[in-house]
Amino acid sequence: MADDQLSRVFAALADPTRRDMVARLAVGDATVGELADPYDVSVQAVSKHIRVLSDAGLVSKSKDAQRRPCHLEAEVFDLMTKWIERYRQQAQERYERLDAVLAEMRGDEQPTHPGNREQGAAS
């Protein structure tokens, strides 16, 4: 895996167990032990999962005696959403442009606006 944050965030969420933990942290903070409870893997394995989430910046840990309450850092989601939206939108615009070209080829365009050419549609 690459070491940039976006890669780490995507990689962290590629595991269903970790996504499940994020889901549970969305309803409220929880300690490592509490998070480990529902799964039949060792606490150490869960601790590792949390470390991955933490390295990705998705989760922060505080201290309460021996406990390590985990807190979801939801702002990191924006990093992904921005990346996704950028290319989703770009692709969508391209389809719309393509549709416009196809419509023009079919002669579908409304002749009410004679100057309304598609800008750069064929580039």
CA dist 2 and 105 (Å) reads 45
In sequence order, what E strands does 1-123 have? 59-61, 70-72
Residues of the shown chain interacting with DNA in the complex, contacts defined by CB under 7 A = 1, 11, 14-15, 17, 31-34, 36, 40-45, 47-52, 61, 65-69
Beta bridge partner(s), residue 60? 71
Angle at alpha carbon of residue 89, lines to 15 and 98, rounded to 5°: 125
Query: Shortest gap between Cβ of 117 and DNA (angstroms)?
Result: 33
Q: Which region among 9-17, 34-42, 99-107, 110-118 touches a second copy (by CB under 8 A)?
A: 9-17
Q: Which does 80 bind (CB under 5 to 8 A by kind): DNA, a second copy, none?
A: a second copy
In the structure encoding, which two tokens stand for residue 88, read together? 């989703």
Beta bridge partner(s), residue 67? 64
Residues that bind a second copy (CB under 8 A): 1-2, 4, 6-8, 10-11, 13-16, 19, 22-23, 25-28, 72, 74, 77, 80-81, 83-85, 87-88, 90-92, 94
